[in-house]
Amino acid sequence: GGCIIHLGSESYHMTFPFMPYPLTKRMLESYSRVLRQELSFKGIRVVIVRPGAVRTRFISNLSGITYPVADSKLKDAFEKFSSSASGEVGKMIPPEKVASLIFKLSGRKNPKAVYRINNSLQLKLVSVMPFPILEKVIEKRLK
């Protein structure tokens, strides 16, 4: 028995330049789904919690990142991304709210596979936007 709770992200289905974070969350999602299926035979529950923006240093530090190569053609786009990214996340919740949900889930007998908390309309729209359109929007904003 027992319960494994992975902390995912609503950004897991997005691709943004300069942002490996959603890619790692996508890998975690895939791993969690397979693990859930495998461990169900042993009575172990696997759950993914997908919070939207959480008030952490990760988000607040985005605006202070500079591109490591001074003469790179990517420098301007990267710095525009880093200066605007923290303002794009929407309403943030305190980490304690996520911790409270995780604590409640740890005691549930039959939890769902995925729980969402503080998901923004902007994230939902981006998640259903066709990639060619999203690609053009991002390119325009970073030029």
Give residue for tokens 């495998």.
Answer: 38
pLDDT digits (tens, 9 = 90+) for 75-124: 777 777 776 665 666 678 889 999 999 999 998 989 999 998 887 777 77
What pLDDT, on a 0 to 100 scale, did the predictor assign at position 85? Answer: 62
If one compares 134 and 42, the residue with the highest pLDDT of the two is 42
What pLDDT, on a 0 to 100 scale, did the predictor assign at position 6? Answer: 96
85 to 17, 19, 49, 97: CA distances (angstroms): 11, 10, 22, 23
What pLDDT, on a 0 to 100 scale, did the predictor assign at position 99? Answer: 94
Determine the distance from the C-alpha atom of residue 132 to the mean position of all C-alpha atoms in its chain, rounded to a whole number: 21
Taking each helix axis as running N to C, give the angle between helix 75-85 and helix 131-142, from 0 to 180 degrees, rounded to the nearest 10. 100
pLDDT digits (tens, 9 = 90+) for 23-58: 899 999 999 999 999 999 999 999 999 988 888 877
pTM above 0.95, yes or no: no
What pLDDT, on a 0 to 100 scale, did the predictor assign at position 41? Answer: 94
pLDDT digits (tens, 9 = 90+) for 58-73: 766 666 677 777 777 7
Question: Which residues neighbour 60 within 8 Å (Cβ) at sequence distance 6 or greater?
Answer: 86
What is the C-alpha to C-alpha distance for residues 72 and 8, in angstroms, rounded to an integer?
A: 32
